Amino acid sequence: MSAAAAERADVRSVADLYLEPRSIVVLGASSDPAKLSGRPLDYLKRFGYAGDLYAVNPRRDTVQGVPAYPSVADVPGPVDLAVVVVPADKVPDAIEECAAAGVRAATIFASGFSEAPDGVGVEAQERIARAVASSDIRVLGPNCLGSFSLPQKAFATFSTAFDVPGEIPDSPIALVSQSGAVGTFTYSTMTSLGLGVRHFVNTGNEVDVSVVEVLDALVDRDDVDLLLGHLEGFADPIALDRLCARARAAGKPLVLLKAGRTSAGDRAIGAHTGSTGGDDAKFNAILEAHGALRARSMEEMADLAQLLVTGRRAGGPRLSIVTQSGGAGALTTDVAVDLGLVVEPMADASRAEVAALLPFFASTANPLDLTGALINDPSILDRTLEITLASDETDVLLVVLGNSDAAAKELVEICVKHHDATTKPFVVAWTGGTGQARADLLAAGVPTYAEPVRATEAVARLVALSRD
């Protein structure tokens, strides 16, 4: 941001400009909603964006029913956000025109800038940077797919993630990603788990706006409880440290996924966004100092989101495992102990209560093995969960189930009942079957995983965050 912009009393944060734009213009808008250059207008209209909406297309008076003007300077009224969908060689001119017209922020979709081979796009990106430095405009990209805000219906993007039927899920989660595909792949993984993303921003080459800056602005939003981010470049340790400290002070978990740990990975991100990975050890140290979490994959980020968005925290590391399978319980126990969790028997009185429900050969030592008796009598699970959750030796409860489609409806109802009745973290791993049980549990808001190791890994990260 230029010094002049920083001094202005009416400066809005990047989160406000990109997620709550009061007016949007699409430069180079196409009349074909299937084209990349036609998607932003189509989405904004389809999802019901209520702000002022314009198009710039010198060959048309309207585009997709939206008023069109020859240039951005001809657009009536102030413009908060310009979505620039012109080819790469036209982008610097378009940004300079937007800056001259007083546009507050712009998003650049086009690729072919600092990330291009042999430096062919470096000068064009530097020209954009000069326009930013000499004006008040903020710029997202280039080489990005935009942003969206569910409450504002501000879908300023060309992503195909929204070409799906049905209602778009909503959760108090913000996701900011340097890679558009990593961001939207993570988004789609989360929606498959019944989670939504309330606010999304993709930063691309980061000529101006960065992942860290957007996340830092989102810390202050009352409608965000969980912050997720993906970075490739790491050039400003001070800004990252500030973000992590502010997120911790606000009580909002921060989970970051970062590429470039290896020399080969660093080379790959240079070819992707023109970034450099930076000091990975320093990155980890900053996160650890403030209790922020580093995810290893898009899938793990979604796994963590399931648990963290509930707002529940673990009172300690003691994990109680209630399982349908002794073998699965043993595998889960090994993983849990390796990850620093404590898997120890409950008090004798509690064990005796559970033992009275089970066959003589069943183990109550933790894991609590309900054996095949559960198939004949699902109510065994009901009473076992009641006893286990009431125990002071239980900080987190993990229920390990599988197949059992004939009894699935009753087992799901029991799990949902006890999940809703406790404030302790309550997690289910349901392996096999038709998948309907997992879908029903997820729809009821119960953190549910397809495999107990994944569930246990997520629990271990939750316990670490709770301890910090």
Residue 6 has pLDDT above 60, yes or no: no
* Per-residue burial over 361-387, b = 16 or more CB atoms within 10 Å of its CB, e = otherwise: ebbbebbbbbbebbeeebebbbebbbb
Query: Percent of the chain having pLDDT more than 90?
Result: 85
Q: How many residues would you count in the chain?
A: 468
**Nearest of 51, 45, 109, 103 to residue 72 by alpha carbon:** 103
pLDDT value of residue 11: 62
414-434 pLDDT tens trace: 999 999 999 999 999 999 999
pLDDT value of residue 275: 59
Beta carbons within 10 angstroms of residue 20's beta carbon: 18
Per the domain annotation, does 313 fall within a domain? no
CB within 8 Å of 200: residues ≥ 6 apart:
147, 148, 149, 157, 174, 175, 176, 177, 183, 184, 187
Contact 398, 454 (CB under 8 A): no
| Per-residue confidence band for 297, with pLDDT thresholds at 50, 70 and 90 | very high
Residue 5 has pLDDT above 70, yes or no: no
Q: Please indicate, yes or no, whether residues 232 and 174 belong to a single structural domain of this protein.
A: yes
Q: Please indicate, yes or no, whether residues 359 and 292 belong to a single structural domain of this protein.
A: no
Token code pair at residue 9 = 């009393």
Phi/psi at 316 (5° precision):
180, -170
What would the mean pLDDT of 85-108 be, rounded to a whole number? 97
Contact 397, 425 (CB under 8 A): yes
Q: Please indicate, yes or no, whether residues 48 and 73 belong to a single structural domain of this protein.
A: yes
Residue 3 has pLDDT above 60, yes or no: no
Q: Please indicate, yes or no, whether residues 26 and 159 belong to a single structural domain of this protein.
A: yes
Per the domain annotation, does 314 fall within a domain? no
What would the mean pLDDT of 280-302 be, rounded to a whole number? 95
Computed over every residue of the chain, the mean pLDDT equals 93
324-355 pLDDT tens trace: 999 999 999 999 999 999 999 999 999 999 99
d(CA 114, CA 274): 5
pLDDT value of residue 308: 97
Q: Please indicate, yes or no, whether residues 361 and 285 belong to a single structural domain of this protein.
A: no
pLDDT value of residue 276: 59
pLDDT value of residue 90: 97
The residue among 276, 308, 340 that closes a domain is: 308
For residues 171 and 119, the model is more confident at: 171
Most distant CA pair in the chain, distance: 83
β-pair partners for 68: 55
Residue 130 has pLDDT above 50, yes or no: yes
Q: Please indicate, yes or no, whether residues 142 and 252 belong to a single structural domain of this protein.
A: yes
pLDDT value of residue 270: 60
Beta carbons within 10 angstroms of residue 220's beta carbon: 12
Query: Percent of the chain having pLDDT more than 70?
Result: 94
pLDDT value of residue 162: 87
Domain of residue 101, CATH code:
3.40.50.720
Phi/psi at 148 (5° precision):
-150, 150
The count of structural domains within the chain is 2
Q: Please indicate, yes or no, whether residues 214 and 334 belong to a single structural domain of this protein.
A: no
User: Scanning the structure block, which residue is given the tokens 């990005």?
Assistant: 144
Q: What is the span of the domain harbouring residue 443?
A: 319-467
55-74 pLDDT tens trace: 999 999 999 999 999 999 99
Q: Please indicate, yes or no, whether residues 296 and 334 belong to a single structural domain of this protein.
A: no
Residue 4 has pLDDT above 50, yes or no: no
Residue 449 has pLDDT above 70, yes or no: yes
pLDDT value of residue 279: 80
For residues 265 and 288, the model is more confident at: 288
| Per-residue confidence band for 190, with pLDDT thresholds at 50, 70 and 90 | very high
pLDDT value of residue 7: 40
The residue among 284, 308, 332 that closes a domain is: 308
Contact 222, 168 (CB under 8 A): no
Contact 51, 114 (CB under 8 A): no
Token code pair at residue 43 = 């989405």
Q: Please indicate, yes or no, whether residues 375 and 298 belong to a single structural domain of this protein.
A: no
Q: Please indicate, yes or no, whether residues 284 and 364 belong to a single structural domain of this protein.
A: no
Q: Please indicate, yes or no, whether residues 234 and 300 belong to a single structural domain of this protein.
A: yes
pLDDT value of residue 271: 62
* Angle ∠(49,52,57) on CA atoms, nearest 5: 105
Phi/psi at 59 (5° precision):
-100, 0
Q: Coil, strand, or helix at residue 166?
A: coil
Q: Please indicate, yes or no, whether residues 291 and 354 belong to a single structural domain of this protein.
A: no
For residues 305 and 375, the model is more confident at: 305
Alpha-carbon torsion (456, 458, 463, 468), positive or negative: positive
Can you list the positions of beta strands (E) in 191-253? 199-202, 226-231
Domain of residue 329, CATH code:
3.40.50.261
pLDDT value of residue 118: 81
